[in-house]
Structure 1
Amino acid sequence: MDTGTTQLAQLALQLEHAVDKLRGIPVGVELVDDNELVQRRILEAAHTARELRAMHPVGSTDRGRQEQRSRRRVLDALQRGMEMRTIVHASVLDDPGKAARIRELHSSGDLHRVVDEPIQQLLVFDRTVAFVRTTPVAYSPGALLIRQPTLITMLVDLFEHMWRKARDVTEPVQRLTAREREVLDLIAEGRSNSAVARALSITEAAVGKHVASVFAKLELPATEDVNRRVLAVLAYLRGTAR
């Protein structure tokens, strides 16, 4: 376990212990069980906030009009000057629709970064109020509404630690699916296509298709002058090393 991961685990453990101690005690921590009430409280906080830090373990489950309203609210908040930074789990980018929406928001000013390790759903407005899901499952009902300054500081520290480790969502390697990243990870270990196929329990032909897709997404044309496997590995290492 590297130093960054150890520090992250320590911060998460401190937060967990602090929340356990403060449950039920009127010191700036409120348990809100009703999801609609949680959403209203979030909208109230967002209405006047100038800054938002957010972490989302998966993409939004909203569809149709709900998703359009959510996107519109974010764009409106950006237009009135809110500074927004969002960390998402890498699995979100496996869905082309969600990936396109994230890149649109990123280009509009809601800066996104990507992580591979599990994260909790979190919103922190202006270093004054935070929302944390009561269970580590995305979009589960209920949340802790936190105004306690010490806990807010810990949550901000947790977010900033993750932000420094995360990767920019616009990096080409972020276009790869989870399976393509697995294939490229094994190639980075020096394995042949047949060895990759054995390791993943898939056919060698399937590996070949994944490799071809990786080359296309990383925009590596076939030429006699370069080894695309080496260039793909280098791009992967640049995109994952932080």
Structure 2
Amino acid sequence: MGELRGIPVDVERVDDDALVRQRIAEVVPAAGELRAMHPWGAVDKRSDEHKSRRAVLDALERGMRMRTIIHMSVMDDPRKAARIRQLHASGDLHRIVDEPIQQVLIFDRAVAFLRMTPFAYAPGTLVIRQQSLLTALIDLFERTWDRAREVDEPTHRLSAREREVLALIAEGRSNSAVARALSITEAAVGKHVASVFAKLELPETPDDNRRVLAVLAYLRGTVR
């Protein structure tokens, strides 16, 4: 508990990871809701990962509501991706973001555990019970959740040049304008655009505008 210009601030720094885990374990049994954000995913030790998964499933079985936001890099590991999908199907709803996020656990509106650096499992955690700070963290979580994509939404991989082309199309540029911006031929742009459509599985139909659909996929973050 600190003080800021005479105002009590209920924030404690804990550097001992074992003590942080103990504090979290003390909160979990009485908590009804968990909001979580993880920058790089779960611990690498399989035994620890199994214990973590079992703890989540046990909490879900007793009725805890869980939502988790993860960084897209987690899904690059097939084992971690499978674990995420299992938890998602069990009720720990997951969404994915591309931008950097902090590691934080928010239990109800009572307490938050916030890593002091934006790296998973880095030392130093803030235990926050100050209501104004909790409200700010919850607001950050909800805004991040709203713009995140579903964990089972497919992600399409484009080449660096294809991403450049699509980014310029998203700015409203024509093929000729894209060609000038990238110093390539318009024919080359056409080939890149056709490749983007193929990778995004956007067939030519009289009812759909493929350029618009490709831009929407780009803006949703399902293109990498």
TM-score if structure 1 supplies the norm length? 0.68
Q: Offset of 1:142 from its aligned partner? A: 2.0
Q: Distance in 2 between matches of 1:80 and 1:30?
A: 29
Distance 2:8 2:90 in 1: 39
Q: 1:59 maps to which residue?
A: 41
Q: Is the 8 A contact 1:54 1:85 kept in 2?
A: yes
Specify which of 144, 154, 161 is matched with residue 136 of structure 2.
Answer: 154
Q: Counterpart of 1:240?
A: 221
**Do the aligned residues in 1 keep the contact of 2:149 with 2:220 (CA within 8 Å)?**
yes
**Alpha carbons 2:111, 2:128 under 8 Å: kept:** yes
More helix, by proportion: 1
Shift of 1:49: 0.8
Task: Give the 3 Å change call, closer, same or farther, for CA 180–87 of structure 1 in structure 2.
Answer: farther
Q: Where does 1:108-123 land on structure 2 (aligned, <5 Å)?
A: 108-123=90-105
Task: Name the CA distance, whole Å, in 2 between partners of 1:182 and 1:148.
Answer: 47
> Would you say the 8 A contact 1:94–1:176 is kept in 2?
no
Alpha-carbon spacing, 1:20–1:215, altered in 2? closer, same or farther (3 Å): farther
Q: Secondary structure at the match of 2:99?
A: coil
Q: Deviations over 1:181-221 (max 9, x none)?
A: 88446445458xxx8xx99xxxx9xxx9xx69x957x6x39
Check 1:100–1:225 CA distance in 2 against 1; reply closer, same or farther (3 A cut).
Answer: same
Match of 2:20 in 1: 38
d(CA) in 2 for partners of 1:182 and 1:107? Answer: 36
- In structure 2, the CA distance between the partners of 1:168 and 1:150, relative to structure 1 (3 Å rule), is same
Shift of 1:61: 2.8
Q: Give the % identical residues.
A: 52
Aligned alpha-carbon RMSD (Å)? 3.6
How many angstroms apart in 1 are the aligned matches of 2:128 and 2:160? Answer: 37
Structure 2 segments unaligned to the other structure (5+ residues): 170-174
The alpha-carbon distance between structure 1 residues 146 and 224, as it changes in their structure 2 partners (threshold 3 A), is: closer
2-structure distance, mates of 1:154, 1:45: 20
Q: Distance in 2 between matches of 1:120 and 1:98?
A: 19
Compared CA separation, residues 34 and 26, structure 1 to 2 (3 A): farther
Q: What per-residue deviation string (whole Å, max 9, x for no partner) do you get for residues 25-69 of structure 1? A: 963211111011111111211122110000111111332111111
Q: Structure 1 pair 160/181, CA: closer, same or farther in 2 (3 Å)?
A: farther
The Cα shift of 1:234 comes to: 5.5
Q: How does 1:142-181 map to 2 (within 5 A)?
A: 142-172=124-154, 175-176=155-156
Q: Deviations over 1:162-191 (max 9, x none)?
A: 11121111112xx345x6688446445458
Checking the alignment, whether the CA contact within 8 Å between 1:87 and 1:115 is kept in structure 2 is yes
2:59 is matched with 77
Change (3 A) 1:29 1:103: same
- Give 5+ residue unaligned stretches, structure 1: 1-18
Distance 1:239 1:134, change over 3 A: closer
**After TM superposition, where is structure 1 displaced by more than 3 Å over at least 4 residues in a row?**
19-22, 179-191, 223-227, 229-232, 237-241
TM-score normalized by the length of structure 2: 0.73
Does the 8 Å CA contact 1:171/1:239 hold for their aligned counterparts?
no
1:129 and 1:152 in contact (8 A); partners too: yes
Corresponding residue number in structure 1 for 2:10:
28
The answer as to whether partners of 2:39 and 2:71 remain within 8 angstroms in 1 is yes
Structure 1: which amino acid aligns with 2:121? Answer: Y
CA–CA distance in 2 between the matches of 1:112 and 1:70? 16
